[in-house]
Amino acid sequence: MYIVIAGAGMVGSQVVQELQANKHDVVVVEQDKETCDKLYSKTGVVVIHGIASQIEVLREAGIQKADLAVAATGNDATNLAFALLAKSFAVSQVVVRMRDPEYENAYQVAGVNAIVRVTDLMVSQMIMEIEKPKVRKITSIGGGKANIFMVSVPRGANVAGLKVHEIAENRRFPDDCNFIAIYNQEKEEFVIPRGQRVIQEGDDLFLISTAKDIKRAVQFLAATR
């Protein structure tokens, strides 16, 4: 994917490094010149020195061809303006970092696809929102220490046909991640799973997980043959 990121601070720079490692094309917009230079020297990524809420700067970053935009600055007003402009350029997926919950409704009105709250902010969660848009976060609990989320089992998934206990006992599946419900749309069946429950293609899996384990759990559940 071609991804434009606003903000090269601690969060933005870590997201950049993970996305580069996963072979995405990344361009960063950052208003602090010293931060731009540090990120470029560390990663070699293209960094545009400018303000992420200015149209000419975003055009220079290639926003018009972006598959996804990430607002990762520490300022909600800037993130909101960036999100609105990204949507005006028909960017289909926009992920934002939110510091102040007062902005949540504004972000929703702007049409952003995922909001990552600062209380539960983990780079791994932001990467999950970027790379796994079919995974939906339901809510946070324990002050953001854990999340309830839903992931759909894709066609050809490795876990299809396995029992819940077989998945839970697999060493690649996080210990601190538990199944709490399964919904099968075809059968319109909602169940609280036990260990012998067989996972099927198309099942919507509801899980509770610590923030640090979300990405690993999703990678395991969504992996296909």
pLDDT, one tens digit per residue, over 185-221 is: 788 888 999 999 999 998 999 999 887 787 788 889 9
**Domain with residues 2-125, CATH architecture:** 3-Layer(aba) Sandwich (3.40)
CB 137 within 8 A of CB 147: yes
**CATH 3.30.70.1450 is held by the domain 141-222:** yes
Q: What is the mean pLDDT of residues 17-23?
A: 88
Burial class (CB in 10 A: 0-12, 13-18, 19+), 7: buried
Measure the N-to-C terminal CA separation of the chain; round to a whole number of Å.
22
Does residue 88 have a pLDDT over 90? yes
pLDDT number for residue 216: 85
CA atoms within a 13 Å half-sphere pointing along the CA-CB vector of 177? 27
Is the confidence at residue 224, as pLDDT, over 80? yes
The span from the CA of 2 to the CA of 26, in Å, is 6
Residue located via tokens 């990663």:
43
Mean pLDDT, rounded, for 42-52 = 96
Q: Where in the chain is the domain with CATH 3.30.70.1450?
A: 141-222
pLDDT higher than 60, residue 122: no
Asked whether residue 144 carries a pLDDT value surpassing 80, the answer given is: no
Let me know: does 143 contact 211? Beta carbons within 8 Å: no
For the stretch 150-195, pLDDT in tens is 888 988 999 999 999 999 999 999 998 999 999 987 888 889 999 9
Domain with CATH 3.40.50.720 in the chain: 2-125
Mean pLDDT of 68-73: 96
pLDDT of residue 50: 97
**SS3 annotation, the chain:** CEEEEECCCHHHHHHHHHHHHCCCEEEEEECCHHHHHHHHHHHCCEEEECCCCCHHHHHHHCHHHCCEEEECCCCHHHHHHHHHHHHHCCCCEEEEEECCHHHHHHHHHHCCCEEEEHHHCCHHHHHHHHHCCCCEEEEEECCCCEEEEEEECCCCECCCCCEHHHHHCCCCCCCCEEEEEEEECCCCEEECCCCCCECCCCEEEEEEEEHHHHHHHHHHHHCEC
d(CA 136, CA 106): 20
